[in-house]
Amino acid sequence: TGHSPQVKAFVTQDIPFYHNLEMKHLPGADPELVLLSLRYEELERIPLSDMTREEINQLVQELGFYRKETPDAPVPEEFQFAPAKSLPILLPLHAPTADGKTPPKHDKEEHPDL
């Protein structure tokens, strides 16, 4: 099953505007929003495949994600850790590194297969 055009549009066009929202591409898997706590513990999964782009945008904003004016706009101090209760990542999850530190954050991720 391919990704729906709605979800793909969200991934390619909307994700860059959201602070702390990352896409991890897993071939052949339906996209899910995975909410992680600050300790990288999984809180919940929300399947996105049946949702429209508009619904996904509404969902992530309700979850507390900060949407920037432009992808490169600075994030206000109070939103640096938004949403405070979780650090979300779209599948697959990071495996914690061997020394237990959180994985390094890359601002410019490559998306060769989108």
Instruction: Look at residues 2, 88, 90, 1 and name the one whose alpha carbon lies nearest to residue 47.
Output: 90
CATH of domain 5-79: 3.40.30.50
Exposed e or buried b per residue across 82-95, where buried means at least 16 C-beta atoms within 10 angstroms of its C-beta? bbeebbbbbeeeee
Mean pLDDT comparison of 19-28, 46-55, 84-93, highest-scoring range: 46-55
Q: By three-state DSSP, how is residue 14 classified?
A: helix
Q: Structure pTM?
A: 0.65
Burial class of residue 64 (count of CB atoms within 10 Å of its CB; 0-12, 13-18, 19+): middle
Sorted by where each begins, the domain ranges of the chain are 5-79
| pLDDT tens profile 55-84 | 999 999 998 899 999 999 999 888 887 775
